[in-house]
A and B are shown apart, each in its own frame.
Chain A
Amino acid sequence: MNIVEINALSKEYKVKKKRIRALDNLSLTIQKGEIFGFLGPNGAGKSTTIKILTDQIRATSGSATIFGIQSNKAEARRQIGYLPENPAFYDFMTAREYLSFTGKCFNMPESSLAERTNQVLATLDLLDAANRPLKGFSKGMTQRLGLAQALLHDPDLFIFDEPMSGLDPVGRAMVKKIIKDLKNKGKTVFFSTHITSDVEVVCDRVGILVKGRLVAIDSVEHIMATGIEGYIIQIRGQDNKTEEIKVSNSELNGVIARLLADNVKIERVNPVAHNLEDFFLDTIQAQVPTNESQ
């Protein structure tokens, strides 16, 4: 089942009488239970896509549906937990008051709201600050509250715009754990980032957006597998010294067979692979001539 379906979505902004195309014919589907990472350099159109999905801005052309409902309908947002980029919340409220406000907006019953509020505050390590006005919250605390309000009503789809932004390493690890937990619960997560290491750790699939165009979309597993350039075989020689042999993909089987025939002890075989960052940079680099020629 497609949780998110984006069809030929385009968005143009008018900046000083100039038309700027922020999103160019984007088509994308996100399946149930999938963790989808939306990668791209700054200004690639990641936030524009998310803003269209959450009805902050309207597409110039194309359409987007969430659970089969047009994304510009309020009803479509009922099953979304959304964390905006650099979130800001009513600063005259306390964290607990804001979560109560959020819960009521999602029609959560009063009976479960208080308990769930405490749960999410504890998960995001905000219990001690629960009754403090948001005016005094640091950027990291506000970001964590943003995650808390997204998790509160236990939706089926989470849309996070740069969820690690403003967080310290402990906070980042916490967010990664939350995303993994959501995956284990069968939830769908669509998140934007420009930090490839985050995607590598938590995502099932990744889409790369460059200048408003989706230039690559693949599973993280496949990207990592196709990025293998060769292998390093670690062996223990007859003089009990460790040696490393670098072989290409095609040579691997033959070399291993020969070593085994010679009774050489193979201690480890490590793939020499590109990481996701290399893939990301290569993909962006590949777009440069195309874009320049345009």
Chain B
Amino acid sequence: MQHFKLIFSATFVAIKRDRLLHALAGASLLLFLLVPVISMFSMRQVQELAITLFLSSLSFTLLIFSILLGVFSIWKDIEKRYIISVLSMPIKRRDYLLGKFSAIALFLMFTVCLMGIIGYGTITFAAHQYQSEIPVSWPNIFTAMLMSGAKYILLAAVALLFSVISTSIFLPITGTIGIFLAGSATQGLYEYINSGSGAQDISLTGQYVIKALYYLLPNFSAFDYQVYAAYTLALPLDTIFYTVCYWLIYTSFLLFCASIIFEKKEFR
């Protein structure tokens, strides 16, 4: 546990001192501050658009952070040979991997909280500009934010798995982006092939491929609660519960696989 904590805090310090992340955080902040201004362009749905824009901006920021941290965190240690110095100490590889991942996950959730504070200000400001018939539901907005955080923690686990598999940077980046795009689309495709017209339009082989991808790849669209937040719809608590269980199981499975591969990895 001691070693896990040490790797966790070292990774968190590395993230805190990363200048690229500072620049990206600054750009994100600017994006959030522009939310009330851009929302004005919608004459009637200022509040709804502000919520949607805010959650989309948060999602984009978390996407960039999760890919960067998930891919580069371990890859950089291997590439710059830091890992040789670290793993020659009595640190178990599993503790190293989980310490890294936990720091990334915590940072993503910290980003969610920080952006939540900023979001509170920007959405309140935008909502006062044009009174909506729908009241702002903060529990719905915070649920959407937390689910977004969970989604990108899962993506970081995907990135981490790729970064322990490959020694080059190409596979982790393209693989993570590819899985993210495919995992975001499978839900829609699955529903399409189960609809009458979809079953006719797509060949049987294509339908099997889509079904296989739907069951194998992480389903990122399951974490999307933007509509519930923007239009204050009643939250489906049972669906949220199952999604959280799905997230826990899938993330644990990815980390388990990454841990087995990392245990066998050689650092020449």
Contacts and interface: CB of A to CB of B under 8 A. Distances in A.
Given A57-B266, A101-B6, A106 B89 contact: yes
A54 B84 CA distance: 9
A189 B10 CA distance: 30
Given A88-B80, A105-B90, A57 B85 contact: no
A196 interface: no
A86 B267 contact: no
B87 A84 contact: no
Interface stretch (A74-82, A164-172, A244-252, A255-263): A74-82
A51 interface: yes
The residue among B88, B92, B268 with the most chain A CB atoms within 10 A of its own CB is B88
Interface in B216-268: 264, 266-268
Q: Which range contains the number of B residues in contact with the other chain?
A: 20 to 34
A266 to B, nearest CB: 55
Interface string B10-47: 10011001100000000000000000000000000000
Given A86-B81, A104-B6, A58 B88 contact: no
B267 A56 contact: yes
B3 A55 contact: no
B91 interface: yes
Contacts of A68: none
A75 B90 CA distance: 6
B2 interface: yes
Interface of A: 13, 51, 54-58, 74-78, 80, 82, 84, 86-93, 101-102, 104-107, 146, 149
10 contacts: A51-B267, A54-B88, A84-B85, A89-B82, A92-B17, A92-B18, A104-B2, A105-B91, A106-B90, A107-B2
CB-CB nearest 8 A-B residue pairs: A57-B266, A88-B81, A105-B89, A56-B267, A82-B88, A54-B88, A78-B90, A77-B90
Given A54-B88, A102-B89, A105-B6, 12 more contacts: A13-B268, A56-B84, A56-B87, A56-B266, A77-B89, A82-B88, A87-B84, A88-B81, A92-B13, A92-B14, A101-B10, A107-B2
